[in-house]
Structure 1
Amino acid sequence: MEEELIDSSRLSLPRKSVLPGTGFFYPDDLDEERAEERAKEKLEDADVAVVTDTDADGLGCVALLREVYDAALDVTDFEERIEDRLAEARGEVDEADEADEEDDRPQSPVALMGSSPYSLEDDLLRVAEYAPEGIDVFVCDLCPDRYEYVEEELEALAEVAGSIRWFDHHQWKPEVAEQVRAAGVDLVVGESDEECSTDVALRELDYEFDDRFVELAAVTRDHDLWLNEDERSQDLADYAYWTGKEEYVAIVGAYGADLPEVVEEYIAHRRVEKENLIETAVSRAEFKAVGDWTVGITYGRCSQNEVADALREEGADAAVIVKPAGSASIRGSEDFERAHEVAGLVNGGGHPKAAGCKPDIYDDMLDYAHHWTTQGATTKRVILDAFERVAETPVEGEEETDSADAADAEASE
């Protein structure tokens, strides 16, 4: 197959909105082989390994840890590469260097192992296999749904690591947290509606951080908890999504939440397409009544938080954004705080007001082809069915609370 057929940069915006990115079409074994090579390169001489989610919150933890260990990479080279990308976008050069940006850059002794809920066990095992004995390991902004998913990997890691610390803020099942701690892990879980993982790392690390790191945690929290009170938080979220992991960590480590001018220019350039993709996804939305809720559901490659905000403005209590790669984001509101319950029924999890999932319904490429050509019809139906099941299940303690409220009301009368 010709590579240009899967190169999403060549697609018109309507087609780009319907199809997944280029990386989706690469076989897993190629990704696995490359991941193994990169892990070995990063870990073999590392003093510290950080297995982390790759959003702004997870990467913010890495910036703090590199400050603690005096292991930040030089920011100058990253800024020059951003300038090159902008020059290409403005047509001032023919083409910027498209080589893997992490390949030819010095490695930090605090190795960044980008992970996700779906690859956590693999990444833990890579640290156990390739890291030197006695390495300090941190796991950030990740939460396993079941201990069995990470049991063997943590056992292997415990035999190698000098220490394992885990900073998170998601909603952990009590039995999973207990089992992880019993495996020798120093697990600290912050209040999911008050702290982000960067907050947890900031207070748990024994280090006197400069004000820029304190502010970085606050602005990261503003986005990660969907407070949206600081306009800089969306810049951090977008930048973390659009650029390489190492670049983001180096930039925020050097500048905190006040990004340099060249980065702001880069974000503004990328945001033009982002806004168009958001508008396209919002225009596709349907609104369904499920129990007492109005669920807005749509499809497309887009920024899910902004789309969810738009759907809420149009009357949705909950928003579902189905992605071309088969996953979906579920966002709640003050009137719907059960997103994690819905996601839990369709191979996912998360927070009461924000969760993610990927229904186990894709058996072959024909299923994906149907997914793209119907704009997620089957996935939408499966997730709406999950909403129906949650609507039929009362919130734990709801009846007792209602009875108590009624009793209080009668007493006051």
Structure 2
Amino acid sequence: MPLCLRKKSVERKPSLQEKIVGRATGVVHLTHNDLDAAGSDAVCRMVFGPEILTLFSSVNRFGWFMGQVSGCNGKGDRLIISDLGYQKGIEDQVRKVHAAGWKIEWYDHHKWSEEEMERVRPFVVSLTVDTSVCATGVVCASFAGGNAAAAEVARVVCDYDLWRHEDPRSAVLGMVTSKREFLELIRDKLAEGVIIDDEVSRIFAGIERDKNACMRKSIRHARVFRGKYVIAVMPAYGYPSETAAEARRELGCDMELLVFATGKFSLRSVAPVSHLIARQFNGGGHPNASGGSFAYGWRERWMLKLFGRVSGAKEFAEAAEAV
């Protein structure tokens, strides 16, 4: 007699829109997905409580997340946007979110033109842009000016995000949050005023070993273009900021392009033009650090994976020369 096996019921995870609709508080925080985002969210949680709904977004998915929010009734609640800069056409999504009943507050430290600000302002309650600090610093000044713990978090995060490298703790946090699985862990510790503890130190030690191997592999495949800028183009195997810094020391370049197998890239530059170049490749960011994406198909992806060969390197170098 055959055995009848009862299938285990798998609990369905709520969709993003279901999470937004079922939010526990009147605050949704849409931010980036790095240390600066973790710091910004930590400060928000210090001020608004740990029950706020946080949405961590890559630069490329910013528009998609805005579309998800616009599909939900805002009911006059706050949508706080931080550490995400202007993208071409994003005002259309901002308008839809506003029309859905959300009160939008935008806190950023990326470079905006006055024209870009004017496109967004009709649909937001406030737009605060300060390029002299990191996004955590902007959020802290706006919400938690008298909070000493928040100020310390902002100081450490800005040390890393603005490449000051004066506080060794910031490099540890930057490394750990380069792994997406630890982003919420660091956020939660920062929200409690904890910068570094034994758990974070153990995680960092393990990542450090992996980082060194990845950096060597990237730099070994580097291709250097010499012209208006000395550009090192290389495949990325993780740790783009740290790899860029090491490549700058070893290769004497002043611009580093690290490209992942998906076609997404991370760009660092001495000259304050990084964001201008990245915008030509579906991206954006800071004058000295940004991200974008090449339109990679299966062939380009496999050429990078198998041989460490970056497709689009010549086109990128030409774009950089034209800036």
Query: TM-score higher than 0.5 here?
Result: yes
Aligned with residue 45 of structure 1, among 6, 23, 36 = 23
> Which residue in 1 is equivalent to 2:3?
none
Distance 1:53 1:131, change over 3 A: farther
Matched residue SS, 2:53: strand
**Unaligned residue ranges in structure 1 (runs of 5+):** 1-32, 73-107, 391-413
> Which residue in 2 is equivalent to 1:216?
153
Between 1:381-390 and 1:194-203, the stretch displaced more is 381-390
Distance 1:131 1:116, change over 3 A: farther
Give the residue type in structure 2 aligned to 1:235.
V
Aligned with residue 177 of structure 1, among 101, 108, 117 = 117
Give the residue type in structure 2 aligned to 1:201.
V
Distance 1:266 1:61, change over 3 A: same
Shift of 1:374: 4.0
What CA distance in whole angstroms lies between the structure 2 residues aligned with 1:40 and 1:57? 27
Aligned with residue 149 of structure 1, among 77, 90, 93 = 90
> Which residue in 1 is equivalent to 2:294?
359
**Unaligned residue ranges in structure 2 (runs of 5+):** 1-11
Shift of 1:238: 1.8
* Aligned residues of 2:233 and 2:256 also touching (Cα < 8 A): yes
Shift of 1:354: 1.4
Residue by residue over 1:292-348, the C-alpha shift from the partner in whole angstroms, topping out at 9 and shown as x without a partner, is x32222113121122211222131121121222212222112xx3322222233232
Residue by residue over 1:69-103, the C-alpha shift from the partner in whole angstroms, topping out at 9 and shown as x without a partner, is 2x22xxxxxxxxxxxxxxxxxxxxxxxxxxxxxxx
* Aligned residues of 1:326 and 1:371 also touching (Cα < 8 A): no
What CA distance in whole angstroms lies between the structure 2 residues aligned with 1:220 and 1:39? 30
Asked if 1:136 corresponds to 2:78, the answer is yes
Shift of 1:112: 0.5
* Aligned residues of 2:46 and 2:191 also touching (Cα < 8 A): yes
> Which residue in 2 is equivalent to 1:284?
221
Shift of 1:39: 4.1
Asked if 1:235 corresponds to 2:172, the answer is yes
Give the residue type in structure 1 aligned to 2:56.
G
Shift of 1:144: 2.5
Aligned with residue 375 of structure 1, among 277, 288, 308 = 308
Q: Which stretches of structure 1, 4 residues or longer, exceed 6 Å deviation after superposition?
A: none
> Which residue in 1 is equivalent to 2:247?
311
Shift of 1:118: 1.4
> Which residue in 2 is equivalent to 1:408?
none
Q: TM-score, normalised by structure 1?
A: 0.70
Give the number of aligned pairs.
309
What CA distance in whole angstroms lies between the structure 2 residues aligned with 1:247 and 1:331? 27
What CA distance in whole angstroms lies between the structure 2 residues aligned with 1:174 and 1:323? 33
Shift of 1:244: 4.0
Structure ID, larger Rg: 1
Distance 1:40 1:208, change over 3 A: farther
Shift of 1:38: 3.6
Shift of 1:169: 0.3
Shift of 1:188: 0.2
> Percent of counterpart pairs with the same letter?
23
Matched residue SS, 1:345: helix
Shift of 1:130: 3.4
> Which residue in 2 is equivalent to 1:195?
133
Give the residue type in structure 2 aligned to 1:282.
I
What CA distance in whole angstroms lies between the structure 1 residues aligned with 2:142 and 2:62? 22
**RCO comparison, higher one (Cα < 8 Å, 6+):** 1
